């Protein structure tokens, strides 16, 4: 029998070099990408963002890799959508803050924004 000599580096050590793996990681978005604007798209009346609550919780948001990001926010019992537009500087706007009985309408608005049915 021939003596078996193990190679210094055993099998299974061949893998793709680092940089492509890192690029794949960066390219892998975990967030939702808002769909392009659809025909008959509803136009949201965006208002200047003003500090109105001590703490705002972001419930859901579209992917941060996009120039425009929509956040579904909650401050106490009130919900609203915040819009970050970084396509030309940084513009932060908000939808109106309807009363707590109308929170469902805000959730629906955030979905319409994701689907391109509202902008
Ligand atoms: Zn993304």
- pLDDT surpassing 60 at residue 118: yes
The pLDDT assigned to 54 comes to 92
Q: Is residue 92 part of a domain?
A: yes
Q: Is residue 15 part of a domain?
A: no
Using the mean position of ligand 1's atoms as its centre, give its distance from the Cα of residue 26 in Å.
9
Using the mean position of ligand 1's atoms as its centre, give its distance from the Cα of residue 72 in Å.
17
If you average pLDDT over residues 60-67, what whole number do you get? 93
Q: Is residue 20 part of a domain?
A: no
DSSP structure class, residue 4:
P
More confident residue, 29 or 119: 119
Q: Is residue 102 part of a domain?
A: yes
Question: What does pTM read for this prediction?
Answer: 0.76
Q: Is residue 17 part of a domain?
A: no
Q: b/e string for 16-39 if b means 16 or more Cβ within 10 A?
A: eeeeeeeeeeeeeeeeeebeeeee
pLDDT band at 1 (very low <50, low <70, confident <90, very high): low
Using the mean position of ligand 1's atoms as its centre, give its distance from the Cα of residue 61 in Å.
11
In terms of residue numbers, what domain contains 106? 34-115
If you average pLDDT over residues 68-94, what whole number do you get? 95
Q: What is the mean pLDDT of the chain?
A: 86
Work out how many domains the chain is built from and give that number: 1
Using the mean position of ligand 1's atoms as its centre, give its distance from the Cα of residue 64 in Å.
6
Using the mean position of ligand 1's atoms as its centre, give its distance from the Cα of residue 46 in Å.
23
Using the mean position of ligand 1's atoms as its centre, give its distance from the Cα of residue 8 in Å.
42
């Amino acid at each position: 029998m021939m003596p078996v000599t193990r190679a210094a580096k055993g099998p299974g050590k061949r893998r793709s070099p680092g940089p492509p793996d890192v690029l794949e990681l960066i390219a892998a978005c975990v967030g939702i990408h808002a769909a392009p604007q659809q025909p008959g798209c509803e136009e949201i009346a965006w208002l200047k963002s003003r500090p109105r609550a001590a703490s705002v919780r972001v419930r859901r948001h579209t992917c941060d890799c996009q120039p425009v990001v929509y956040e579904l926010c909650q401050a106490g019992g009130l919900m609203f959508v915040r819009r970050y537009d970084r396509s030309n500087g940084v513009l932060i706007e908000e939808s109106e803050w309807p009363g707590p009985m109308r929170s469902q309408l805000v959730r629906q608005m955030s979905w319409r924004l994701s689907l391109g049915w509202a902008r």
